Amino acid sequence: MKKLNEIKRREFIKVVGLSGGGLFLASYVPLQNVLAKPGDDPKIFTPSVFLKIDSNGVVTIIVHRSEMGQGVKTALPMLIAEELEVDWKNILLEQADADRKYGSQTTGGSTSIRRNWEPLRIAGATARIMLITAAANKWNAAIENCEAEKGFVINKLNNEKLSYGDLVEDASKLPVPKDVKLKDPKDFKLIGKRVHRVDTPDKIYGKAIFGIDVVIPGMLYAAVKRCPTINGKVLNFDGTIAKSVTGVSEVVQISSGVAVVANSTWRAFNGRDKLTIACVAGPNVAKSSEDIHKELVNKSKTDGFVFEKKGDVSKSIEDEELVESIYEVPFLAHAPMEPMNCVAKFEEGKAELWAPTQNPQNARSEVAKALGISENDVTVHVTLMGGGFGRRLVSDFAVEAAEISRASGKPVKLTWTREEDMKFGWYRPPSMHVLKGSIDKKNNPIKFSHHVIAPSITQMRFAPNLPPQNYDIQEGTVGLEYQIPNMRIAGTTIKTNVPISWLRSVYNTQNPFAIESFIDEMAYSANKDPYGFRRDLLPDDSRLKNVLNVAAQKSGWKTEKNLPKGKGRGIALFKGYDSFCAQVAEVTVKNNKVKVDRVVTVIDCGIVVNPDLVESQMEGSIAFALSAALKGEITIEGGAVKQSNFDDYEILTYNEMPVVEFHYIKNTYSVGGVGEVGVPPCAPAVCNAIFAATGKRIRKLPIRLS
C-alpha cells in the first residue's frame, strides 16, 4: 500500500492518578485517524493506556494489537518490559478493546512492531524514571545513584531496595519527564532474545479462547444464508420449514442475507439449509474469471499511467536485444483455519461484541454505522484468532453478528461454514503485468519497463475517484534499486464487483513475482548468472545487496549445472515494510510436478525484537507464498466463487513444506516489519528455480507445468 506521508509524531505521556492509588502510565499517539481535541483540558483528555502498576507491584501491560499467530502478544510487551526493568515472568497481559485512544490498532501492513517501537519503549522508560525519582526522593538520594531492576529500585550506595508497588503513589504525583533517554541497544536484556511466546501453553492445551470459542450467558447460535451470486440481494424468503427445525427460534433478515438463530451451531446450520430465499442477482451475474482476464488483456495493450520514469525506454538502441513477457495471477482467498465468526449482544441500544478482528476500531465504527448508533455505544472485545492474513481487516462478520443480535433480541454467536468463508471472502485481486527490457551488445541491461494492470482495492472500496498517482497497484513496482538507465513503471486499474481486499503483502504478492521473474529472464538473455546479474545492478551500500549476497553464500549458490538433472535453484529479492529479504529456492521437477526442497531466506529487518518470532514469520511466509504459487486460485463463474472448501482450494501440506533455512542480519538499524516481507520473493525464487531445472519459464500462477 502506498504509505501515507510520514509525520513526525510526538508522544505525550501523562500520569493519571487512580482512586486505587495506582500509577497509570499513558501514552497518547496522535494519528491521522484520531480526532484531536485541542480545546480539552488535559485532565479529561483520554490518553491511551499501555501499562499500569498497582500498589501490590503488579504490572499489567495492555496489548492493543491483535494476536493472530504472529506473536504481538509476546513482542509488544517485550518493548515495554525492556525499558521498565521488570521481571518478564511477573507481568500480566490484557488485550485492549477497540478504542481510538490507543492510536492505530489495525493489525496489518507489518506495522505492529515498527509503529510501536518508540511509543512503547518510551512508555516503559518514562515509568521507570518516575519510579526511580520517587525512590530517590524518599531516600533523599541522587537519582544517578539509583537504578531499577526486576521491579525494584535499588540505591547503589547502600543497597536499599523499594518495590515498584511501594513507589506507585509517590511516582504518580511526579511531573512527567520529557525526552526520556531510551536504552542503548547494547544494553538490551530482553530485546533480541528468543523469549518464549506467552500464548503457547493455553493454545496447545485447547484452553485458549478464540473468537469461535466465546460463550456468553444466554447466547444462541446463528448462521446466515446469502444469495449465491456476489452482491446478490434478497428479494424475499420463506422461513417456515427452517423454523420447524428443532432448536431454531428465529429467522431474521439482515443486510447480507437471512439469518437463522438456534440453540446450537449445528441446528443453526440445518435451519439455514432449509431456508428458501429468492434473490436478485448482483450486477456481476454473468461475469466470470475469463471476462476479467479479457479485460486485463485489453488494458495491457494501453500505456498506463506512469508512476515512475527514468531515461527513455521508447528510443531504440543499436543492437539491443529485446525481452518481453506477460505475467498473470488470479484471485486468492485468505482461508484462515478459523472461519469467520463473531459473538454479539445488542441490548438497550448498545452493542457488545467479541470479535476475532485485525481491525477493532473499524469493526466498532462499521457496527455503529450499520445499527445507526453511536460508536460510544459499541464495545468491541478482541479475541484470539485462528489466522488473519488480512481477511479479518474487513468487519463484515462483526456487522452481521450485531445485526442478528438486534433483530433476534438475543446474544448470538455467528459462525460461517468453511464454504461460506471461501465463497464470500474479500479476495486478493488478479493482475496482469507487461514487462519489457533490453540488453545491449555488451550484455548490460539498458531498459526496463513494467505495466501492471489490476483492480485497485482503494479505488473499488474507498475512493472511486482515486487519482492515478495514488493507485495502490503500484505497491512493489516503484523504487526498485536496480540501476538500469532507462526505466518506465506504469499502471492501469480495471473495475470489478468481486470483493477485493488486502492479503498478506497485498500487491507485493503480484508485482515482485513478475519483476523478479523477468529480471531472471533478462539475466539469461544477457548470458549472466541470475545472482551475479542482480548483484551488479544494485548499489554497493545497499542493504538489499547485502541480503542477496548472504543468501547466495548461505545457499551455496552455483549455476544449475552443479545440481542433478531435474533440480534447479532460483533466487529473488524484495524490499518493503522497512525490511529486506532475499531467498534462494531449490526445486525438483519430475513428471511435470514441482517439489520445493529447500528455501534459504535471509532477512534484514534492523533490530530484531524476538528472533524466534521473526524466524516463524519467515517459515510461515514461505508456506503462505507456496500455497499461492503452487495451488491457489479462486475462479468466478456465473457471478459466484466456484471454490468451496480445502478440497478445491488447496493449501500447502506437511509433506510439501520445504526445508527453510533462516538467517538474519545483525545490525542496529531501526526495526522493520517481518510479517509480510518473506512472502514476495518466494514465488519468483521458486519459478526461477523451475526455469533453471527445466528451461520452462512460469509466467502464470498457480504454477502448472503440464
Partner 1 sequence: MSKYTLTINQKKQTVDVDSGTPLLWVLRDSLNLTGTKYGCGEGICGSCVVHIDGKAERSCILDVEDVVGNSITTIEGLADKPDHPIFKTWIELEVMQCGYCQPGQIMTLATLLEQNPKPSRKEIDDAMNEVLCRCGTYQRIRKAVAKLVEEK
Backbone angles phi, psi at 691, to 5 degrees: -65, -45
Residue 386 makes contact with partner 1 by CB under 8 A:
yes
Question: Whose CA is closest to 57, among 137, 147, 163, 154?
Answer: 163
Buried b (16+ CB within 10 A) or exposed e, 622-645: bbbbbbbbbbbbbbbeebbbbbee
Taking CB under 8 A as the criterion, the residue among 246, 374, 443, 670 binding partner 1 is 246
> How many residues of this chain interact with partner 1, rule: CB under 8 A?
63
Taking CB under 8 A as the criterion, the residue among 81, 277, 385, 454 binding partner 1 is 385
Hey, CA dihedral for 30, 176, 54, 198, is it positive or negative?
Answer: positive
Cβ closest to partner 1, residue 266 vs residue 462: 266
Q: How far apart, in whole angstroms, are the C-alpha atoms of residue 408 and residue 402?
A: 10
Only segment of 102-110, 209-217, 369-377, 539-547 that touches partner 1 (CB under 8 A)? 209-217
Taking CB under 8 A as the criterion, the residue among 152, 331, 389, 507 binding partner 1 is 389
Question: Least distance (Å) from partner 1 to the CB of residue 348?
Answer: 27
Taking CB under 8 A as the criterion, the residue among 199, 308, 320, 536 binding partner 1 is 199
Strand ranges (E), 311-396: 321-329, 341-347, 350-355, 378-382
CB 483 within 8 A of CB 215: no
Question: Least distance (Å) from partner 1 to the CB of residue 531?
Answer: 24
Site string for partner 1, 314-353 (x = CB under 8 A): ---------------------xxxxx--------------
Question: Whose CA is closest to 678, among 547, 543, 486, 492?
Answer: 547
Taking CB under 8 A as the criterion, the residue among 205, 316, 527, 706 binding partner 1 is 205
Cβ closest to partner 1, residue 202 vs residue 319: 202
Backbone angles phi, psi at 294, to 5 degrees: -65, -40
Q: How far apart, in whole angstroms, are the C-alpha atoms of residue 271 and residue 236?
A: 17
Please give the residues from 613 up to 672 whose contact with partner 1 meets the rule CB under 8 A: 616, 619-624, 627, 645-647, 651-655, 657, 659-660
| Cis status of the peptide bond prior to 702, with omega within 30 of 0 | yes
Cβ closest to partner 1, residue 214 vs residue 432: 214
Site string for partner 1, 135-174 (x = CB under 8 A): ----------------------------------------
Residue 68 makes contact with partner 1 by CB under 8 A:
yes
- DSSP run (H or E) holding 519: helix 511-525
Taking CB under 8 A as the criterion, the residue among 40, 236, 266, 670 binding partner 1 is 266
- Grid coordinates representing 87 are 521481571
Q: How far apart, in whole angstroms, are the C-alpha atoms of residue 129 and residue 554?
A: 44
Cβ closest to partner 1, residue 90 vs residue 264: 264
Only segment of 116-124, 202-210, 223-231, 551-559 that touches partner 1 (CB under 8 A)? 202-210
Q: How far apart, in whole angstroms, are the C-alpha atoms of residue 105 and residue 362?
A: 9
Residue 418 makes contact with partner 1 by CB under 8 A:
yes
Q: How far apart, in whole angstroms, are the C-alpha atoms of residue 598 and residue 678?
A: 14
Site string for partner 1, 268-287 (x = CB under 8 A): --x-----------------
Question: Whose CA is closest to 248, among 257, 258, 256?
Answer: 258
Output DSSP code: residue 263.
S
Output DSSP code: residue 384.
B
Query: Which residues contribute to the site for partner 1 (CB under 8 A)?
Result: 68-71, 196-197, 199-201, 203-210, 212-213, 215, 221, 246-247, 264-267, 270, 335-339, 384-389, 415, 417-419, 612, 616, 619-624, 627, 645-647, 651-655, 657, 659-660
